[in-house]
A and B are shown apart, each in its own frame.
Chain A
């Protein structure tokens, strides 16, 4: 099983639609969870952290289910500018040095259509 797994998409949705992305992770001891956004050939940019209680930032809602090792991102009222790749990122303690390491999923491509 991959450490962090995402559906690569692409998800093609009309403007104004609601779209949801899912992500699963394999390490049950993972500590922190994030969604990053990456535009074509640009650096990943932090979109939001994901907390156990769920959190919302404007049109974006992130949820974490530790029991199922599952993270989700919901985007409401999609805009053309939301078109990007959304990366699920998990911060896990390594077994070797005991330090933390960020593991990236392959990303889910979103294209919002006019």
Chain B
């Protein structure tokens, strides 16, 4: 069964460093997303991406964040100058449509720890 893959599974970085989180969405999906989940809190929307551009972003997704689809398969989230509060699990997702509407499928996440 096709799945969304994310690398790395864990990333430890120093405050102020840049990190790039990588995702390979399911191949025939057209909409891509990044979500994050701080430990013990709810899953929060960061950004959606369609047709090679951002379609929606949350207030969390400020200038510190950027997304890119550098080729036909990868979808990346870059966090510049990481802060302690960026520590969270970051989930990539892609979506498909059927009679129930659009459905999200998640990758297994990247646990980011900012020290």
Q: List A residues at the B interface (Cβ < 8 Å).
A: 31-32, 34, 38, 41-46, 49, 51, 87, 89, 91, 94, 96-97, 99-107
- Residue of A49, A100, A101 touching B100 (CB-CB under 8 A): A49
Contacts of B50 in A (CB 8 A): 99
Q: Are B91 and A44 in contact (CB under 8 A)?
A: yes
The contact size tier of chain B is 20 to 34
Contacts of B43 in A (CB 8 A): 38, 44, 87, 104
Q: Are A101 and B56 in contact (CB under 8 A)?
A: yes
Contacts of B106 in A (CB 8 A): 43-45
Q: Are B105 and A46 in contact (CB under 8 A)?
A: yes
- Residue of B42, B45, B89, B111 touching A101 (CB-CB under 8 A): B45
- Bound together, the chains give a CA A42 to CA B56 distance in angstroms of 25
Contacts of B100 in A (CB 8 A): 32, 49, 51
Number of A-B contacts (CB under 8 A): 58
Q: Are B108 and A101 in contact (CB under 8 A)?
A: no
Q: Are A99 and B55 in contact (CB under 8 A)?
A: yes
Q: Are B56 and A43 in contact (CB under 8 A)?
A: no
Q: Are B103 and A34 in contact (CB under 8 A)?
A: yes
Given A43-B91, A99-B56, decide whether A31 and B101 contact each other with a Cβ distance below 8 A.
yes
Contacts of A103 in B (CB 8 A): 45
- A102-B104, A105-B42 given. 12 additional CB < 8 A pairs? A32-B101, A32-B102, A38-B43, A41-B111, A42-B108, A44-B91, A45-B106, A49-B101, A49-B103, A51-B100, A100-B102, A104-B45
Does residue B109 face the partner (Cβ distance < 8 Å to A)?
yes
Interface residues of B in 61-93 (CB under 8 A from A): 89, 91
A-B contacts, 11 listed (Cβ < 8 Å): A41-B89, A43-B91, A44-B91, A87-B43, A89-B104, A91-B102, A99-B48, A99-B56, A102-B45, A104-B35, A104-B43
Q: Are B101 and A91 in contact (CB under 8 A)?
A: yes
10 nearest A-B pairs in the assembled complex, by CB-CB distance: A49-B100, A32-B101, A43-B106, A104-B43, A106-B42, A99-B55, A99-B56, A97-B56, A43-B108, A43-B109
B43, B89, B91: residue with the most chain A Cβ atoms closer than 10 Å? B43
